[in-house]
Amino acid sequence: MPQKIIDYHSISTDNTGAETDQLILQIGISEVACMVKSGLTNLVEEFELYRLDAGDDNWPDTFFQLRISSDILNRNFKETHCYYQSEEAILIPQEKFSISAAEDYLALVFGESHEHDIKYDTIPAGESMVNAYRLKKIIHAVVGKQFVLYHPHHTYSSIVNGLFTKELPEGFFVKIQCYSKHIIVAVMKEKKLLLIQTFLYQAPEDILYHVMNLRQQLSFNDTESHLVLCGMLDTETLLLQQLSGLFNSTTIEKIDPHAAKAFTNKDFPLHYFTPFYNLTL
């Protein structure tokens, strides 16, 4: 049964702007986030975060339990944007993209599958790319049935688009988003995307191993390198010191203070929720 971790609802929330409010979901490997972005204030006014049971593949039952627990999921919204974290995703140059090409690329990398739909996001910023990804048919059907104006996306698309819209320092630029059971790592160099990938972990040491392995594979050597971290990472641990020692600079990505109210919680530092906040921009 999903466990509710965060349950924030602004005291000013009412139905005045319901016709213009957006629902933004993230359905991840180990968490589900629900955020309501007000059409009046353009800020997140409601935020619910759930932790999923390990190995729970009964998605219709999981979504039913989420709806019972949620004060958000049973309402109507102007539109719903749902971000998925399928590991089966591949970036394709736009000039080489077609549905059949995406099917072939995904089958080549991840094997054949009859249990998934193929979806894609066009990434508007930077290089002309398309993110093609697999989405379990049962999840897609359950969420699509619940929300009328439903738009599926992939979390990778949001991350990559955000990187291409920023001024990045020279050399290697590594962004790591941390979740409770996995990390997403994106690597840029000279305005080129070299990699974006999901890595599972059981202990903090696993994160260090994955980063050190990437450094070796991509031949960082003595090149300038910069690290940005956000998400479910304790900044007072040895892990942060060890990661910082691998880069010329390390930054913790935080939420804009003007938009931080929904994500402010006495039990968690603000940077825990930066990956979810970024989906609302």
Task: Report the 10 Å Cβ neighbour count for 190.
Answer: 10
Same domain for 271 and 190, yes or no, is: yes
Domain endpoint, select from 159, 190, 210:
159
Which is nearest to 70 in space by CA: 124, 114, 111, 32? Answer: 32
CA–CA dist 36, 46 (Å, integer): 5
Please say whether the beta carbons of 31 and 49 come within 8 A. yes
Mean of pLDDT over the chain: 93
- 182 and 238 in a single domain? The answer is yes
Helices (H) and strands (E) counted in the chain, each on its own, are 7, 14
User: What are 277's strand-pairing partners?
Assistant: none
56 and 97 in a single domain? The answer is no
**pLDDT 10s digits, 108-159:** 999 999 999 999 999 988 778 999 999 999 999 999 999 988 999 999 999 9
Cβ atoms of residues 18 and 237 within 8 Å: no
Each residue of 31-84: pLDDT tens digit? 999 999 998 889 999 999 999 987 777 889 999 999 999 999 999 898 999 999
Are 46 and 9 a contacting pair, CB within 8 Å?
A: yes
65 and 9 part of one domain:
yes
Indicate if 180 and 224 belong to the same structural domain.
yes
Q: How many residues does the chain have?
A: 281
**Angle, CA 144 vertex, CA 178 and CA 162 arms, to 5°:** 35
User: Does 66 lie in the same domain as 99?
Assistant: no
Domain membership of residue 154 (yes or no) is yes
d(CA 155, CA 140): 15
Could you tell me if residue 83 is inside a domain? no
DSSP 262: G
Q: Are residues 271 and 221 in the same domain?
A: yes
CATH number of residue 238's parent domain? 3.30.420.260
Please state, in angstroms and rounded to a whole number, the distance separating the CA atoms of residues 82 and 24: 6
Query: How many CB atoms within 10 Å of residue 207?
Result: 21
Residue 201 lies in a domain: yes
Considering the domain architecture, whether residues 109 and 17 belong to the same structural domain is answered as: no
Query: pLDDT per residue over 74-118, tens digit each?
Result: 998 989 999 999 999 999 999 999 999 999 999 999 999 999 999
pTM over 0.85: yes
CA distance 254 to 64: 33
pLDDT of residue 18: 66
What pLDDT was estimated at residue 16?
52
* In a shared domain, residues 133 and 223: no
Return the exposure string of 225-235: e unless at least 16 CB atoms fall within 10 Å of the residue's CB, then b.
bbbbbbbbbee
Q: b/e map of 241-262 (b: 16 or more CB within 10 Å)? A: eebeebbeebebbebeeebbeb
**193 and 149 in a common domain:** no
Percent of the chain residues past pLDDT 90, beyond the cut = 83
Domain boundary among 159, 176, 199: 159
Assigned token pair, 2: 């999903």
Query: Range of 117's domain?
Result: 89-159
What is the rounded average pLDDT of the residues 156-184?
95
**Residue 23 counted as domain residue:** yes
Flag whether 84 is in a domain.
Answer: no
Residue 82 covered by a domain:
no
Residue 199: how many CB atoms within 10 A of its CB?
A: 17
141, 231: one domain? no
Tokens of 240: 């942060």
CB atoms within 10 A of CB 21: 21
Quote the CA–CA distance of 164 and 223 in Å, as a whole number: 21
Rounded to whole angstroms, the Cα distance separating 253 from 83 reads 20
Residue 20 has pLDDT above 80, yes or no: yes
Q: How far apart are CA 139 and CA 27, in angstroms?
A: 9
Q: How many domains would you assign to the chain?
A: 3
